[in-house]
Structure 1
């Protein structure tokens, strides 16, 4: 822990649905966004989307860390992208029964899948439909007994950390989602399970029962980021997990939240090997996070601190089937822990111009800082990868011509350990979030 720099973040979001029953301008949970603007209508349709362009002034070669001197003077490269395009659909059946769904297109495509072909001697086969992904991020049925008690079953958002709980693009200043949480956690984290949630005075709580993550999908560069993925047409649930979140809205414009997760990840894949000594270990994942939001007096300030630990991390690379030649899984070591933290603040320049203020246009000048480490080695005898230790700053503007649309621009710079090359870039983007019907 003495090598870990911890920076607490204050976190604020100016989203669409910013008005809540708790406090003016304090954000709502992303899991509530589907129903946020229903206004007692039977059917509600909405969504959000992003278009982005970036120019990166550093090498994108896969060996840029292993042989950093060879790629110091590589030319810059650019890319256009549609990170997310999402459709919300919700319906109120009456008598407290509602349905909510969120369909997401990532990078305009569909995705890939793996299957084990027993006609080919158990060989793994990969099917490619198209680059990118189409995912069902939410699909649930809910019974509401009161504001304080709702039961939701189906595919739900797992609100661990700031970005997962509030992942819509108007809920962060940067063009892309904050890197730290997006690197070490599934993001957006969504799984099929059961949820109990409710609102009581100035509080919102949520408790979830979920399938455990799959350690076969853990990687060095992303820690547990891919752990919620399934290569099959179903999600394996040999192991289970619980997740919880509590938010407080007592102070006008301020939201403070904590979240926690615990679940086992070993032996949670297809074809259990009951005779293996390694799979008898648990591979427990434990996560604790804190975040808060302030949105008042023309300021928006956002932040989070997250720490996660993986038991038996030194055994992950030795899990049966992970290191075989035909396996689709990574053979890399996985860290025993990961950390993400940061700070972001912006001030509305148009608040000082009467005409812009009356027209509800906003122009935020913002600064962003985050620190994250996606690989903390299991012990001193295990290989360390110092490139995992990253500080990042970003400076830029967010222009809101109307509350539902943001035009973003930023200069970003990643600072790595001295033996590596730093990574500057510029990005511009446009994002929207709204309800159409």
Structure 2
């Protein structure tokens, strides 16, 4: 890469992207150098993990049998992303984001933990290729923009700021990544803008599918579709507001509501005389998050709470689905929650020579508590879904757009289950080349 491109890339990043989480993920797609109509960039991660616990699919069902199992390791490419955008002029813009997860697609066998450890053959290689964003936008004023197409649903800290420079751990924080779609992206219409110290966005998107909800992931898989198209019999509404009044501090509120039942194809459960016609699964999600980046500290945190109405009837419908259907037949809880906070201090800030070279070295700690299955009284009990996780580690930035990460983490469960420690190493980048 020649010197001019390096300077351009650093210039595009400085003041907006490095570790600050001050830029909304949807905005970062168009973060190109001033004067260029074409924008080209992306981000990617490479990770290595060693897990000092069993990876057997029955380890929560019969924990005593797997208490002394050997450790296991894995290499992974969690995300490799290409941004491509174009400014047509007169307020019209195109934004796209193509994502390769876990190296892409192929033919593979997958174990379904929600379904008793069954093996299922899938046309994928443990990963996916997704068009995560594809939208056309018309800007009328800074406070009034309309976006049509496929875009990020910015509910929660992880979805709004999911690029690898926006969290300390090698992998995305567990709580939100477990209970919410991640990255949550869907098709619809968005109205957004900036006014003084506020950024706001209101979206109308295709609704979630309650038949894809699960015990281990709550609504995590609900934004997907087993078909070539996304059914949109029902619709969802998302809102996010961020405030930047105080230097270095961003405060965010976000939420989602929508009907998730009868949002599949064919829509055989809805209609007069059908057994599940009156079954409703209204989803309500509320989230608060913040980022503080000043005085050589970065502190991030979030709290999410979700509720699904009518889970008794919903679960009855789910467990009676045909075994070969593409839907999840496990119970889903009426509530789920995730709380997390992380803090890191830049040790290199104390050395003038390292400050001048723009290198950073963060020592950090993170704590999370989450549960994907807060059940009705009549539902079966699965205590392993309630977890706490602690992580400590370092982030080294040789350049503002490259980070080398290392962390030790440990999941803690209720008594009767085996805790899960592990080490993780990774390298990631985020940059714009045009």
- Tell me whether the two structures share a fold, i.e. TM-score over 0.5: yes
- 1:419 and 2:405 matched: no
Residue matched to 1:355: 353
**Contact 1:18-1:26 within 8 A present in 2 as well:** no
CA deviations over 1:281-322 (Å, ceiling 9, x no partner) = 220000000001100000000100000001111223332785
Equivalent residue, structure 1, for 2:5: none
Residue range with higher mean Cα deviation, 311-320 or 76-85: 311-320
Number of the residue aligned with 1:19: 15
1:197 aligns with 2:192: yes
Question: Given the alignment of the two structures, is residue 245 of structure 1 paired with residue 240 of structure 2, yes or no?
Answer: yes
- SS of aligned partner of 2:162: coil
Which residue is 1:293 aligned to? 291
> How many angstroms apart in 2 are the aligned matches of 1:20 and 1:398?
18
The equivalent of 1:323 in structure 2 is 321
Distance (whole Å) between structure 1 residues aligned to residue 100 and residue 306 of structure 2: 28
Change (3 A) 1:322 1:31: farther
- Which of the numbers 303, 306, 310 marks the counterpart of 1:305? 303
- Aligned pair 1:164/2:162, yes or no? no
Residue 301 of structure 1 aligns to a residue in which SS?
A: strand
Q: Distance in 1 between matches of 2:21 and 2:84?
A: 24
> Residues 349-378 of structure 1: CA distance to partner in whole angstroms, max 9, x if unpaired?
001111111101000000000000000002
| Residues in 2 aligned to 1:339 and 1:321: alpha-carbon distance in whole angstroms | 24
Following superposition, the deviation at residue 18 of structure 1 comes to 6.3
Matched, 1:144 2:142: no
**Deviation at 1:59?**
0.6
Q: Distance in 2 between matches of 1:80 and 1:291?
A: 31
Q: Which residue of 1 aligns with 2:9?
A: none
Q: Find the aligned partners of 1:19 and 1:329 in 2 and give their Cα distance.
A: 44
Contact 1:347 1:365 in 2 (8 A): yes
Give the aligned CA root-mean-square deviation in angstroms: 1.9
Contact residue 95 and residue 134 of structure 2 kept, 8 A: yes
What aligned pairs does 1:183-222 form with structure 2 within 5 A after superposition?
183-222=178-217
Q: Which runs of 5+ in 2 are unaligned?
A: 1-11, 109-119
Change (3 A) 1:404 1:423: same
Q: Secondary structure of the equivalent of 1:69? A: helix
Partners in 2 of 1:134 and 1:267 — Cα distance?
27
Q: Give yes or no for the alignment of 1:336 onto 2:331.
A: no
Counterparts of 1:58 and 1:26, CA distance in 2 = 33
Question: What is the CA–CA distance in structure 2 between the aligned matches of 1:84 and 1:42, rounded to whole Å?
Answer: 26
Map of 2:63 onto structure 1: 68
**3-state SS in 2 of match to 1:332:** coil
Any conservation in 2 of the 1:26–1:249 contact (CA below 8 Å)?
no
1:357 aligned counterpart, secondary structure: helix
CA distance in structure 1 between the partners assigned to 2:79 and 2:388 by the alignment:
25
2:80 matches 1:85: yes
Distance 1:127 1:68 in 2: 28
Name the CA distance, whole Å, in 1 between partners of 2:184 and 2:63.
Answer: 33
Any conservation in 2 of the 1:279–1:319 contact (CA below 8 Å)? no
> Aligned partners of 2:298 and 2:52: how far apart in 1?
29
Match of 2:431 in 1: 434
Matches within 5 A, 1:390-409: 390-409=387-406
Within 1, Cα distance between the matches of 2:371 and 2:355? 41
Change over 3 Å in CA distance of 1:20–1:405 after alignment to 2:
closer
Q: How do 1:242-281 and structure 2 match up within 5 A?
A: 242-273=237-268, 274=271, 275-281=273-279
- What is the deviation of 1:326? 1.9
Do the aligned partners of 2:319 and 2:331 also contact (CA within 8 Å) in 1? no
DSSP 3-state at the match of 1:280: coil
Compared with structure 1, are the counterparts of its residues 104 and 409 closer, same or farther at alpha carbon in structure 2 (3 Å cutoff)? same
Inter-partner Cα distance in structure 2 for 1:133 and 1:34: 20
1:77 is displaced (CA, Å) by 0.2
Bigger CA drift: 187-196 or 381-390? 381-390
CA contact (8 A) 2:243 2:252 kept: yes
Q: In structure 2, how many angstroms separate the alpha carbons of the residues matched to 1:209 and 1:70?
A: 48
Quick one: distance in 2 between partners of 1:310 and 1:277?
20
Q: Where in structure 1 are there 5+ consecutive unaligned residues?
A: 1-15, 114-124
CA distance in 2, matches of 1:392, 1:369: 6
Q: Which residue does 2:42 correspond to in 1? A: 47
Residues 343 and 131 of structure 1: CA distance in aligned 2, closer, same or farther (over 3 Å): closer
> Aligned residues, how many?
408
